[in-house]
């Protein structure tokens, strides 16, 4: 039951953040290709370019870095970081600082399920954006024996207002 609630909350959060935070007109505005979110998911490239699909969102007590596959958010990944954490390497090991992956098949994966773990390294954080690297192991919400390795992750995103 707990996993079902967490899965629903994760899918709702990704959808809400993707659509409610979007303020750019993608049909008339040229992509800013210096913004990106990329990694390898079990060895397969996952590369998101441009500020429409690779972005950050600041909240009251934390901030999140997103990479979504398309405007429908068929596949999405985000790293949530406690706002008091700045430049440096931080563990993805609690409900404030964690990673979540949502795949096109509807499955949800996170560092806070199973033996999930990893790190995010913030190399630059300003009022307008954040840059860094990451790697982590996430577990499937429906089967905590199933894991996925996320490696060679990096991002450079602007915060949405």
Taking alpha carbons only, the member of 11, 29, 117 closest to residue 68 is: 11
Domain boundary assignment for the chain: 2-160
Which residues are 119's β-sheet partners?
91, 135
Predicted pLDDT of residue 145: 95
Predicted pLDDT of residue 56: 97
Minimum mean pLDDT among 12-21, 51-60, 80-89, 121-130: which range? 12-21
Minimum mean pLDDT among 11-15, 23-27, 103-107: which range? 23-27
Predicted pLDDT of residue 65: 97
Mean pLDDT across the chain: 84
More confident of the two residues 35 and 94: 35
Secondary structure of residue 117 in the 3-state scheme? strand
Q: Is the pLDDT of residue 7 over 50?
A: no
Question: Whole-angstrom Cα distance, residue 148 to residue 135?
Answer: 11
Secondary structure of residue 115 in the 3-state scheme? coil
Contact between 54 and 155 under an 8 Å Cβ cutoff? The reply is yes
Q: Is the pLDDT of residue 32 over 50?
A: no
Q: Is the pLDDT of residue 29 over 50?
A: no
Cβ-based burial of 78 (10 A; exposed 0-12, middle 13-18, buried ≥19): buried
Q: Is the pLDDT of residue 95 over 90?
A: no
Predicted pLDDT of residue 33: 54
Which residues are 117's β-sheet partners?
137
User: What pTM, to 2 d.p., does this model score?
Assistant: 0.79
**pLDDT tens digits along 103-157:** 999 999 999 898 999 999 999 999 999 999 999 999 999 999 999 999 999 999 9
**According to DSSP H, which parts of the chain are helical?**
2-20
Question: Whole-angstrom Cα distance, residue 57 to residue 127?
Answer: 11
């Amino acid at each position: 039951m707990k996993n079902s609630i967490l899965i629903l909350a994760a899918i709702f959060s990704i959808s809400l953040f993707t659509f409610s935070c979007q303020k750019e007109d993608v049909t008339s505005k040229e992509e800013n290709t210096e913004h990106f979110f990329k990694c390898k998911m079990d060895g397969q490239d996952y590369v998101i370019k441009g500020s429409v699909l690779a972005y950050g969102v600041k909240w009251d007590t934390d901030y999140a870095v997103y990479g979504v596959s398309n405007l429908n958010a068929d596949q999405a990944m985000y790293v949530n970081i406690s706002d008091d954490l700045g430049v440096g390497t931080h563990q993805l090991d609690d409900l404030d600082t964690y990673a979540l992956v949502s795949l096109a098949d509807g499955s949800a994966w996170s560092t806070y399920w199973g033996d999930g773990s990893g790190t995010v390294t913030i190399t630059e954080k300003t009022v307008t954006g954040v840059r860094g690297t990451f790697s982590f192991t996430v577990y499937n919400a429906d089967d905590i024996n199933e894991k996925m390795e996320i490696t060679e992750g990096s991002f450079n995103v602007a915060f949405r207002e």
